[in-house]
């Protein structure tokens, strides 16, 4: 009879609620550990998304690049002739090219120069999917006209605000006078704090050392209904090995892999997640171990009455899961708010994602369950005869 009634008693919950101060400390510790994981994963994802956003917005079915191209920070060009060769393949509708270079943008208020990524496109053909670019692309047909990335760093000046109010903004790029004729939103990234798009003719005037027949990205548009993977495989097999044929997403992954694996960024953010996970394990273990130590006579009594270690482990795991949920909820909402603050301060595309929320919750459950399993060792070594 006692056995049946005891199973209905929420023992784990009552033990947690008995020491409310200890419970608050435990929840605060888990919240801190979860926030650390949320922040590390959030910034890593945001930085990678920002780095590959222009790649994903290229208006093309396939992309042609130099095989040594790794990042927009240090571009590699190839002969435009290779791009024209693709027109001879079945299924290819049209081709386009993009120049990429790093220029010096002058803030007209401070007169300070700052590096900015410059994209040179054919204004008569669509090169980007950004709606603002497609709507204002015709303005680029005049020389020294540009479209400015209003989501870039504020150090470039209040370009977006001034342009929206006056419809005009004049400054210098590479010591040449230019005029902003429109704005779009891409954002800062590893490769650049901002972006401008101009015509290919203006680009070559801004970078006189560049050769017209050497481009950084070739855009290939296929006829409707054509299998892009089939055409890509054919082009990759038959074109010379001085070019690589990729999908826009494959092109984006090259940039992402460079920053994730070619630098210490991926390791640093991953280490932050591991540290948060370990901190959480230590905190929960200390709480559960203290709880077991204080209630050792009660646990010993239950063992003497015939309760197995498996039942007692279940009680500890229930406590651990309660702590996981109680610590996760405030961490989720606090991290959501921090994401908003980070976006306002850095303009990085950082936002709460479902998969990240689930990942951190699963890590929290594992973290707390593991701590409960370790704390159980205290009970397994306890002998009721020794306690009494």
Q: What percent of the chain has pLDDT over 70?
A: 88
Cα separation of 116 and 266, whole Å?
24
Burial letters 18-36, b for 16+ CB under 10 A, else e: eeeeebeebbebbbbbbbb
Strand, helix or coil at 104?
strand
Cα separation of 332 and 34, whole Å?
8
Token pair listed for 170: 């004049």
Q: Does the pLDDT at position 2 exceed 50?
A: no
- Any idea which of 131-135, 273-277, 347-351, 380-384 has the lowest mean pLDDT? 380-384
Q: Return mean pLDDT, the chain.
A: 85
- When pLDDT is cut at 50, 70 and 90, the band that residue 384 belongs to is low
Q: Region 137-153: what's the mean pLDDT?
A: 92
What does each C-alpha distance from 129 to 58, 66, 125, 137 come to in angstroms? 6, 23, 11, 11
> According to the model, what pLDDT value does residue 324 have?
87
Residue scoring higher pLDDT (282 or 61): 61
- Any idea which of 14-18, 156-160, 209-213, 265-269 has the lowest mean pLDDT? 14-18
- When pLDDT is cut at 50, 70 and 90, the band that residue 305 belongs to is low
> According to the model, what pLDDT value does residue 357 have?
92
> According to the model, what pLDDT value does residue 266 have?
77
What does each C-alpha distance from 151 to 9, 182, 184, 219, 228 come to in angstroms? 56, 13, 8, 25, 32
Bridge partners of 145, per DSSP, are: 179
> According to the model, what pLDDT value does residue 323 have?
86
Q: What percent of the chain has pLDDT over 90?
A: 47
- Cβ neighbors of 158 (< 8 A, separation 6 or more) are 109
- When pLDDT is cut at 50, 70 and 90, the band that residue 243 belongs to is very high
CA angle 176/181/183 to nearest 5° reads: 110
Cα separation of 216 and 90, whole Å?
24
Q: In the chain, which ranges are continuous DSSP H helix?
A: 2-8, 11-18, 20-56, 80-85, 131-136, 159-166, 200-206, 228-238, 248-261, 265-294, 296-304, 309-346, 354-380, 384-387
Q: Does the pLDDT at position 131 exceed 90?
A: yes
């Amino acid at each position: 009879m006692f056995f049946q009634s005891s199973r209905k008693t929420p023992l784990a919950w009552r033990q947690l609620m008995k020491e409310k101060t200890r419970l608050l400390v435990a929840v605060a510790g888990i919240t801190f550990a979860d926030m650390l994981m949320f922040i590390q994963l959030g910034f890593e994802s945001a930085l990678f998304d920002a780095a590959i956003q222009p790649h994903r917005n290229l208006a093309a079915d396939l992309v042609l690049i130099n095989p040594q191209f790794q990042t927009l920070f240090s571009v590699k060009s190839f002969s435009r002739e290779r791009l024209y060769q693709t027109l001879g393949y079945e299924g290819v509708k049209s081709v386009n090219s993009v120049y990429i270079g790093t220029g010096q943008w002058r803030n007209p208020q401070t007169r300070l120069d700052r590096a900015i990524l410059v994209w040179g496109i054919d204004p008569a053909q669509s090169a980007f999917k950004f709606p603002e670019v497609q709507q204002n692309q015709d303005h680029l047909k005049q020389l020294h006209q540009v479209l400015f990335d209003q989501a870039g760093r504020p150090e470039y000046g209040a370009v977006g605000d001034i342009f929206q109010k006056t419809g005009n903004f004049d400054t210098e790029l590479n010591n040449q006078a230019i005029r902003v004729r429109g704005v779009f939103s891409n954002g800062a990234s590893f490769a650049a704090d901002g972006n401008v798009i101009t015509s290919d003719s203006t680009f070559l005037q801004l970078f006189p050392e560049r050769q017209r027949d050497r481009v950084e990205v070739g855009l290939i548009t296929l006829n409707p209904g054509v299998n892009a993977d089939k055409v890509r495989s054919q082009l990759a097999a038959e074109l010379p090995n001085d070019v690589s044929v990729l999908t826009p997403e494959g092109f984006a992954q090259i940039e992402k892999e460079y920053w994730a694996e070619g630098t210490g960024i991926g390791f640093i953010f991953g280490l932050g997640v591991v540290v948060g996970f370990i901190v959480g394990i230590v905190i929960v273990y200390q709480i559960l171990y203290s709880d077991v130590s204080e209630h050792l006579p009660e646990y010993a009594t239950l063992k003497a009455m015939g309760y197995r270690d498996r039942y007692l482990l279940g009680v500890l795991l229930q406590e651990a899961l309660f702590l996981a949920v109680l610590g996760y909820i405030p961490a989720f909402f606090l991290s959501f708010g921090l994401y908003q603050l980070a976006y306002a301060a850095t303009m990085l595309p950082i936002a709460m994602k479902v998969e990240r929320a689930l990942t951190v919750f699963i890590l929290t459950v594992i973290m707390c369950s593991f701590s409960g399993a370790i704390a159980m060792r205290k009970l397994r070594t306890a002998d009721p005869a020794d306690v009494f």
